[in-house]
Structure formats: structure tokens, C-alpha cells
């Protein structure tokens, strides 16, 4: 079976067996059967438990061999690690080709665990099956209501594919649900990042790939795959276990041999991977790559309600290697008409004095500034700072921001001030705009949208 | 009058006159009289407007000279900048000693504006008055319901004193209201940062000082004052206009001559100023210095529900120059008893396997790990990562975190995972704990708590 067909058994299964399904239910029972049902999985679920007659109204089979139908995917969440190789063998003998091992205590534990992990891999390989894990939350697929995690996870049908080595990524981010689809490679005894990348490369539901990686396995295949995939879809990668100490700890987390930070960085650049420094940047970039066009140059336009924020944005441009664009004489002349006589129209534009002077009202002042900036050929992207406190007016501005983004194919990032509430941000983002949590993060995000444009241009 | 008494007229006035008070009210009227009333100012308010009989039920005086009572503080928010020097003169003649100029278009505008600003300063100085601004939102004091901003600002009676050069700081941060007390130095034609520092130095309501500064004025006095004040109270400073381009823009924002980044950094270190790199770090540090004890060393203990997060925290320790502490043999032995046999207890501690193995339940597992770490003399501070999704259990853990912080006088930062909602964080923070928005920011904050300890130790 080719890699993609194989991976489809994991991410798009029609039927799932849970080997060692627990009969406990409710909070802190970590009952995968229950979670599968709650997440709304639209395929068949077969609990397997030697002792249980029924689990949540479903017949429980005494062994996987007794399940009378075809099973695409088996999950093994038993607590006792020594039981796992035998269970994997039973799965293989039942003709199952995709097995997720949730159990911990393998390469993430001691030497004996590492040997057990090797034997799992061998048994599966000999039986023509593939293993995801051990130590894995498994997979998620919002498009079919699938989530094999043992705790509740909220999902949205976003074109976001998540590949991770830690369950910490499954619940998503502050202002963005990442599942989409998800594959927790975890210890990666068999299925690893390159397999997951190939799946997302060919997945029509996915347009942006998020990658959390502790250690690269089979470096050559990873590089070849990442380089090919990143020409089609952006791969936003957070490499952890960057420090020597972190790498040591990663060995006891997923048993990964982590590489040096500078090596991964060079490799990422070579492959066109968009690197995120931490989870916050990963969230910023996921939103930006989902919603915004790329930045076709380095020149930023700054439209700010606050002079103080404009200064911070200019600092951030210097820090992240972007330029504060020089507006054309025509744009400057038009902006000057709106300005009080003592003020020289320029980029960055502090539009508060314009608002007070022009009497157009805040919304119209903001809109006309934005339009002038967006239409100027000397500007490749915009940052708008506008206190979100202005409520309804913000939604009116958001409309304009969306329109301008589409019309001029330039990304616009919006910083709403540090006092804006998360709820208001989420509301506003429903219109498709991107709200950055800080000045600096808006500029950092634009830089990555610009790098991506340059990478794709080089690939032509 | 000495500086502190003078500054008290600004921040603790008993009576305020608004010169050029507008008669418009409601949203977008920017009516300071209305805002003063809404903020609940408990002193006298005297609107001054040649045309208006009454404003919001208060008699309006035709000129400041007609106000029949003593006025501590005058506000000048007129739109026409050329009118300001004359109004300042009238204030001085009426015996007012503290004047806030809200009007824009002075050193923040053109050369003529700079000259106007100089004349304002001269007129005030000759009349024995001091001027805050121009281009200033003014002052805030939650303890007497005072806020001179022309838009609504939420305030809490926190022992936080804010000094800023931009109104962007008045509305506060995502999860923290900074007002407390606030002084917007803005263009700083007269009252500048050193004056505000002296006020907060002697203010019993203030224990932590936040400083946003574009440009230092009278460097020698600033250094002397900052050095003295920071021995008593932490000064958390965000220097903007750091880049050459930013410095140029700052000239048209507040007319500040901004210094080079490395110069300010050296100066900050010398003065014991705690530097924040951006508004996000300022928020983190404000919360930490308000609520947590200092970190008396460099050794961090990591108690994490996620192995992946533990790896990130260890990376962050390397990045921010903290050590992952080595637990004592006694602590290790006790933690080993809770652990599954395949797992070697260590720092960082991934307590998920302990939770599954020990059957104590999540809350008790977390508590016992935290207690062991906090009690260990080889650990100076803790980071806890615990998904906030666990709701009620989180509050129970928060109790323990508060108790341990008090008992052992060690700071504990908590990272709740990127999916936790702001509302849940705010709720949890009411118990006095500090929730960090990311792994990295938890460690970065601890580093600053450790630096502050070292600075104070050197001062002994």
C-alpha cells in the first residue's frame, strides 16, 4: 500500500476498534469510546474488552478477532505496556493495517520500553501494518467528527493540518482551533513526520500545515518531502528540543534524537519551511497563512490611531527586517488634505489628528487612510492599529479591511490595543481579518508572509 | 513647592477646571467633563466655556477667572493650538499651579508648534505653575475615581503606577488593568519622567512602577532618580523609539529625542530598571511583580502535565539563562514512589504518567508534585503547566499554588496551555496566581524576578 492510502486508514477510517476499552465514563475516565461518540465520529466503533458486555450501549467484543466486520483502524490505550506487543499481534492477525498505540512507557521510558517499542514495530511491519505512536493521542479529522484523544477537543473544519509530537497541540490555540486534521506522531516508532507530510500534501481538505517536531527521523526523506510539499502548501514548523538540555529531555519524552537548533534552521530555510519560534508565533502564522495573501515585498504601511503605537511598529520593522514604505507624492497629497495644517502626512500615519480635524468620523477617517495606503504601489502590506473598544465601528472598519485585502492582494494585520477582550477579537476575526496580539507580532507575521513570497519566487 | 507636592496637585486634586469644555456628550464626543463624572471623580468639577450656560447639569464659567473657588488642576483640551498659550496665562493668573494640555500640534507637529510649546512652558514657569503635556491624556487615580482621558478607561485600585508618553497605555492590558494611577507625560515640555518617578517613589498607594519612555530628558536627573527609586520599588520600563527609524518617528510623536537602544539598556541596568521588550512583557512583569515573591537564584523546577511542554520549558531556560534545578535525592525518592516503574523521576517532571499510575487523581498528583518541588532547597522557582480545561480542578490547584508561594517564598508561574480562554484565566488569577500566556513567557518572567533579587542583593 502506498503511503497516502496507508495514512488515509489513520485519518479517514470508516471503522475503529478500541482494544482495552474502559467501562468507566464521564470526567477523568479518559474513555476513548465515549470521546469518539461525543466528537460525533460518523463511522463504526467497536469496543474490545474481555470482561465487558456492553460499553455505552455498544456490544464489546472479547478480542479483536471476534469483531465481525472490517476494521480500518485499531486503537490500543491499555495501561500495561507489556500487554501491547501481544495486542498488536492480534490486530495484525485480524488483518488490521493501521494501529495507534496510546500507551506510554516505551522509548519515552526506560531501555526495556525501547525494546518493547522495537518489537511492536517489528510485529506490525511483518504483518503489513503501520503503527502511530506509542505515546500518541492519535488522530483528528473535523470533517468526519473523528478525534481519538482521550479528552474532549474542540474542532473546526479548517483547512489546517497539524502534525505534532505532543498532545499539548491537540486542544488548539487561544484564538484558533487547529483541528482541522491532526496526527500525533509522538514517539514515532513507525509513522513519522514525512508520512504525515505526504498525507497532507495530497489532502484536498488541507491548505496550511502546522508541524511540531522534537527530532527529525530519516533526515534525507524528511528534507526531500518537506521541500516538495512546501512548494505546494506552507509548512509552519515549531522545532522544540532546540537546546542541549531540551534535547536530553526530549529523549525521555518521545525518545527523539533532537538535532541542533542551527542545523534545523538551515534545513528549514533550504526546504522553504516557515519557522515559528514558539506556540504564540505558530498561532499567529496559522491565522495569517489561512486568511491573508502573501506579502510581495518588504515595504510596510502603518495606519495607527496612536502615535506611540506607530513608534513601536517602526521599531518592530527594524527588528524584523522590514521597511517602512515611502508613500507616493499623490498619496501624500491626498492624505495631507485630511490632516491638520501643523501635521505632515507621512508613513507611519498617526490618524488621530486627522480624525479630529477632518470631522469625517473615526470610521471614515480610518477607511480613507487605509484605502490610500493600500492603493499605493510603494506599499506591500499594512498594519492598522485601532482600539477595539470602538465596538461596532470596528466591524465597519473590518469590512473595509477585508475588501482592501481582496482588491489589492496585500496582507493587512490589525493590532487592536492590549486592552481588547478575546471575545471581541474572536467576533471580529469571523469577518476574516487577522488581529495580532501585539505590534511586534503583527510585523513578525508580515515578515514571514514576505519570506514565503520570496521562497516561492525562487522556486519558479 | 517641592516636586512631590506639585505632582500631588496633578494626581490627587480636589478640584478640576476644564477650559474649553465641550457641550456635546455621548460616544465620540470626547467630553472630558462627562468622562470625569462617569469615572466617579470625588472632587469638584468646573467646566469653563464662554458660550455654555450649563454642561451636564453643572454651571459653566465663561472664563477660568470666574470660577469662585480654589482650583487644583486645570485641563486644556481645546482643538485650536494657538489658543493654548493665552489659556495657560489665564490659568496662571487665576493662581492655578497644575495645568494639563491635551491639545495636539506642538513639538509633536511642526516648528511653529515647537515654539508654541516653548511659550507655554515659559508662561507657566513664570507664573509658578507646572504643565503636563502637551498632547497628553493627563492623569488617572483609581483611588479617587479620577481619569482625565477623553475616552472611558477602566481602573482598578491596584498598587500600580503608570508613567507613559502615549495614551495607548491608558486602557490597560489584556488581563490586567494598569490604572492604578497613571501619568501621561506625552511631549513632556515640563513635567517629565523623573518628576513622575519621584511622585510614585513617595506614594503609599504604589508598589510597582510601569514606565513607557520614548526619550529621556535631563539624563542625569533621570539616572539619579531612577537609581534611587528602583531600590525601593521595581521600575518596569519599556523603551520605544529604539531603532533609528523609530527615533525619527518619535520626534513627530512627542518631540522626544530618543537615545540608542544599547545606551538605554546600559543605563537601565545601572539603575536597576527592569526592562520589558514590548507591551506583552510589560503586562507579564506587572502581574509577576505585583503578586509573586522574587526568585532568589537561577534554578527552576518544572512540573508539567505534558512532556512536550516540559521540553519547551527546558529550551526556554536555556534561552533566558536559567538553570533546570537538580532535585535533592530525598525529593527524587519521594517522587519516584508516585511514578510508574519505567519512569525515572526527575526535573522536569512530566506528571501525566504519575497521574495515571498513582490513582491519586489529577489534583492530588499535581499538589504532591508541586509540594515536593517547592520544598526542595535546590529549587528557586517553579513553573506549572496544567491545562485550564480542567476547570474546577484548576481552582483547587490554584489554592495550593498560592499556599506554596507564601510558605516557601518562591515564585510559581503557571502556563495553562494555549487553548485556555481568557475568561477562565481572569477567574483563576483572582486567587492571586500568575498565569503566563506561554511557556517561554513564564521563564522570561522568572528571569526578571531573579535579576531583581540580584540587583537588590548588590545594593545591600
Q: Is A440 on the interface with B (CB under 8 A)?
A: yes
What are the tens digits of pLDDT across the range B36-87? Answer: 999 999 999 999 999 989 999 999 999 999 999 999 999 999 999 999 999 9
Of A251-260, A381-390, A432-441, B220-229, give the lowest mean pLDDT range: A251-260
Question: Contacts of residue B285 in chain A, CB cutoff 8 Å?
Answer: none
Asked whether the beta carbons of residue A308 and residue B353 sit closer than 8 angstroms, the reply is: no
Tell me how far apart the alpha carbons of residues A397 and B60 are, in angstroms, rounded to a whole number.
37
CB A459 within 8 Å of CB A335: no
Q: Residues of B numbered 238-297 whose beta carbons fall under 8 angstroms of chain A's beta carbons: which are they?
A: 240-246, 249-250, 252-254, 278-280, 283
- Per-residue pLDDT band at A52 (split at 50, 70, 90): confident
DSSP letter for each residue of B96-120? --EEEE----STTS-HHHHHHHHHH
pLDDT for res B43:
96
DSSP letter for each residue of A194-229? HHHHHHHHT-TT-SEEEEEES--SSHHHHHHHHHHH
**Cβ-Cβ contacts under 8 Å for B344 (sequence gap 6 or more):** A110, A252, B336
Among B21, B41, B286, residue whose Cα is nearest residue B139: B41
Q: Which value does ipTM take for this structure?
A: 0.95
Q: What is the CA radius of gyration of chain A?
A: 25
- Per-residue pLDDT band at B259 (split at 50, 70, 90): low
CB A317 within 8 Å of CB A381: no
Q: Residues of B numbered 324-353 whose beta carbons fall under 8 angstroms of chain A's beta carbons: which are they?
A: 324, 340, 342-344, 346, 348, 350, 352-353
Q: In angstroms, what separates the C-alpha of A432 from chain B's closest C-alpha?
A: 20
When the pLDDT of each residue in chain B is averaged and rounded to a whole number, the result is 94
Tell me how far apart the alpha carbons of residues B212 and B241 are, in angstroms, rounded to a whole number.
11
What are the tens digits of pLDDT across the range A258-290? Answer: 667 778 888 899 999 999 999 999 999 999 999
Q: Residues of B numbered 169-208 whose beta carbons fall under 8 angstroms of chain A's beta carbons: which are they?
A: 169, 171-174
pLDDT for res B52:
80
Question: Contacts of residue B212 in chain A, CB cutoff 8 Å?
Answer: 308
- Per-residue pLDDT band at A36 (split at 50, 70, 90): very high
DSSP letter for each residue of A390-413? GTHHHHHHHHHHHHHHHHHT--EE
Burial class (CB in 10 A: 0-12, 13-18, 19+), B70: exposed
Tell me how far apart the alpha carbons of residues A188 and A341 are, in angstroms, rounded to a whole number.
65
pLDDT for res A110:
95
User: Which of B108, B154, B166 is closest, CB to CB, to A306?
Assistant: B166
Closest alpha carbon within chain A to B261: A315
**Cβ-Cβ contacts under 8 Å for B122 (sequence gap 6 or more):** none
- Per-residue pLDDT band at A233 (split at 50, 70, 90): very high
Amino acid at each position: 500500500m502506498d503511503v497516502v492510502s496507508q495514512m488515509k486508514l489513520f485519518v479517514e477510517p470508516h471503522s475503529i476498534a478500541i482494544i482495552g476499552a474502559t467501562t468507566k465514563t464521564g470526567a477523568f475516565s479518559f474513555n476513548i469510546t465515549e470521546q469518539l461518540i461525543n466528537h460525533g465520529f460518523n463511522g463504526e466503533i467497536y469496543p474490545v474488552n474481555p470482561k465487558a458486555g456492553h460499553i455505552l450501549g455498544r456490544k464489546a467484543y472479547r478480542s479483536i478477532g471476534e469483531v465481525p466486520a472490517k476494521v480500518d483502524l485499531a486503537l490500543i490505550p491499555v495501561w500495561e505496556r507489556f500487554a501491547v506487543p501481544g495486542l498488536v499481534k492480534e490486530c495484525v492477525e485480524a488483518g488490521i493495517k493501521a494501529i495507534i498505540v496510546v500507551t506510554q512507557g516505551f522509548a519515552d521510558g526506560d531501555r526495556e520500553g525501547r525494546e518493547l517499542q522495537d518489537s511492536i514495530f517489528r510485529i506490525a511491519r511483518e504483518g503489513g501494518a503501520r503503527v502511530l505512536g506509542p505515546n500518541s493521542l492519535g488522530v483528528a479529522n473535523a470533517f468526519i467528527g473523528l478525534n481519538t484523544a482521550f479528552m474532549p477537543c474542540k474542532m473546526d473544519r479548517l483547512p489546517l493540518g497539524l502534525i505534532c509530537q505532543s498532545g499539548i497541540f491537540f486542544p488548539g490555540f487561544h484564538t484558533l482551533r487547529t483541528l482541522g486534521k491532526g496526527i500525533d506522531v509522538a514517539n514515532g516508532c513507525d509513522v513519522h513526520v514525512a508520512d504525515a507530510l505526504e498525507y497532507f500534501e495530497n489532502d484536498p481538505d488541507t491548505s496550511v500545515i502546522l508541524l511540531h517536531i522534537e527530532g527529525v527521523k530519516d533526515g534525507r526523506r524528511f528534507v526531500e518531502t518537506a521541500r516538495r510539499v512546501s512548494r505546494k502548501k506552507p509548512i509552519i514548523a515549531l522545532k522544540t528540543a532546540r537546546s542541549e538540555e531540551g534535547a536530553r529531555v526530549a529523549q525521555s519524552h518521545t525518545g527523539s534524537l533532537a538535532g541542533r537548533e542551527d542545523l534545523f534552521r538551515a534545513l528549514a530555510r533550504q526546504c522553504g519551511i516557515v519557522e515559528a519560534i514558539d506556540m504564540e508565533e505558530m498561532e499567529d502564522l496559522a491565522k495569517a497563512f489561512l486568511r491573508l495573501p502573501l506579502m510581495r515585498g518588504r515595504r510596510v504601511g502603518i495606519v495607527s490611531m496612536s502615535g506611540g503605537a506607530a513608534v513601536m511598529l517602526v521599531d518592530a520593522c527594524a527588528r524584523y527586517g522590514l521597511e517602512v514604505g515611502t508613500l507616493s507624492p499623490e498619496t501624500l497629497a491626498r492624505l495631507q488634505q485630511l490632516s491638520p495644517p501643523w501635521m505632515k502626512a507621512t508613513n507611519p500615519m498617526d490618524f488621530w489628528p486627522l480624525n479630529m480635524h477632518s470631522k469625517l468620523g473615526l470610521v471614515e477617517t480610518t477607511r480613507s487612510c487605509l484605502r490610500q495606503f493600500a492603493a499605493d504601489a510603494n506599499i506591500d502590506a499594512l498594519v492598522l492599529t485601532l482600539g477595539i473598544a470602538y465596538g461596532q465601528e470596528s466591524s465597519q472598519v473590518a469590512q473595509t479591511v477585508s475588501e482592501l485585502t481582496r482588491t489589492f492582494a496585500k496582507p493587512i494585520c490589525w493590532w487592536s490595543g492590549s486592552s481588547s477582550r478575546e471575545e471581541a477579537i474572536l467576533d471580529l476575526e469571523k469577518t476574516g481579518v487577522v488581529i495580532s496580539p501585539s505590534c511586534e507580532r503583527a510585523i513578525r507575521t508580515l515578515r514571514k508572509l514576505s519570506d514565503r513570497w520570496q521562497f516561492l519566487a525562487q522556486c519558479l
